[in-house]
Structure formats: C-alpha cells, structure tokens
Amino acid sequence: MHIVVKAGAQQKQEFLSKGFADEVQVSFLDNENTIPGADAYFDLCYEENGPSFSAITDKPVFVNAVVVTNKELPGNCSRINAWDGFLKREIVEIVAANLPAGGQGSQINDTVFIMNALKWRYQLVADVPGMIAARVIAMIINEAYFGLGDEISTKAEIDIAMKLGTNHPYGPFEWSEKIGLQKIYALLKKLSENDNRYDIAPALEKEVFIK
C-alpha cells in the first residue's frame, strides 16, 4: 500500500512517530512535487494552505479539518484531527466521509481499511466541529482565559495547576501555543454559533486580534 502525505515539519514528525506496518510505503509531498498515484492521501496542511489533493476524487483523502465538517468537503474526504500534539496520541479521531452520528457513511469501509492497514488505533466520531478532543481542549483553554481575564492567576501558574492537579501533559496556555490560538478561536467561534457554552472569553479574543 502506498500513502502520500502533505505535512508540515511538526505534523511529519508526529505522523512518523506513530509508525505503520512494514508493507505500507509513505511518501511526503513537497510543494514542487507532482502528485503521485497512491492508495490513500493525507492532507495535514489543509487548514493552513487549503486543499492539496483536490484533483484526487477516486481515492480516500484524510484531511486535517478540525473546524469544518464533512458537509463542506468533497465526498471522498474523511476528517482527521492532526493539530499539533493530537496526531501522536494513542487513538486518532476520524470522521468517515458522510458519516452521520451513529450511521454508516459511503466511505467508511475505505476509512477502516486504511486505518487497519496502518495498524493505527482510531475512533470513528460524529461529524461535528472539533470532533471530541479538540472541543474539550478548546473549552479548557477558553475557561483558562476567563480566569486570566478575571486576574485569578497568571498563565504560568494556571498551566502548572492544570498539570499538577489533573495530570494533563500541557497546561491550557501551553496547549494554545502548541495548537495556535487562531485555530482555537476559529473552533470556539464555530461552536458558539449554536451553543453559548462556547462563547469566547474576552481575554482570548483580545489576544487573538492583538497578535
């Protein structure tokens, strides 16, 4: 099996750190490369650079699309959470193409086949903005900014408290730096359109626009 991947430096490192079966050949696409034929494609730079494999319509394409849903993507695309720090997690979150909550999408067999070929642990999730882990992390970051705005504590102290108190690998502000605050803001803004629990902390919004 041949897989072609478009990835930034950090994403490439995390992709390779997951490992894959010996029979899987992985090629990384540079900007100047012609897209080779493959059994599947991973577009991990989609959110930053737009689609890299729009010409591919007959093979599965896994797209790092945490905020947008599959309804906004071509029919052969499945969403994957490849934000920095997430791809190296033990379980990868996948939204199979056209997979509604609790249902079976037209591309689910291809998605499962590719994941099993890679020998990656994965979880199929509903087609909602943020999937699961990113929504939780975005909410934690947002609440941390509410606390910061209320002058409860400093960024460093809040990060230390979260790591010591909850055994998180990163504090909320460390997460925001790793992922990118603009991405967190975009996800919260999308989620807050239908749920005021995700209303954006003024301190977070201020920092986004200052940057």
Residues 81 and 160 in one domain: no
Among the three residues 87, 103, 124, which one is the final residue of a domain in this structure? Answer: 124
Residues 92 and 17 in one domain: yes
CA 32/CA 115 separation, integer angstroms: 28
What letter does residue 70 receive in the DSSP assignment?
G
Mean per-residue pLDDT pooled into runs of 10, the chain (211 residues): 93 91 90 84 94 91 94 90 91 75 54 88 93 96 96 95 88 95 97 95 94 63
Question: Which of 90, 124, 158 finishes a domain?
Answer: 124
The residue segments making up the domain with residue 172 are 133-210
Residues 18 and 108 in one domain: yes
Q: Domain boundary residue among 124, 147, 177?
A: 124
For residue 167, what pLDDT is reported?
81
CATH number for position 14: 3.40.50.720
- pLDDT in the model for residue 14: 92
The predicted pLDDT at position 75 comes to 84
Number of domains in the chain: 2
Q: Is 93 helix (H, G, I), strand (E, B) or coil?
A: strand
**SS3 string of 1-36?**
CEEEEECCHHHHHHHHHHCCCCCCEEEECCCCCCCC
pLDDT score at 111 = 84
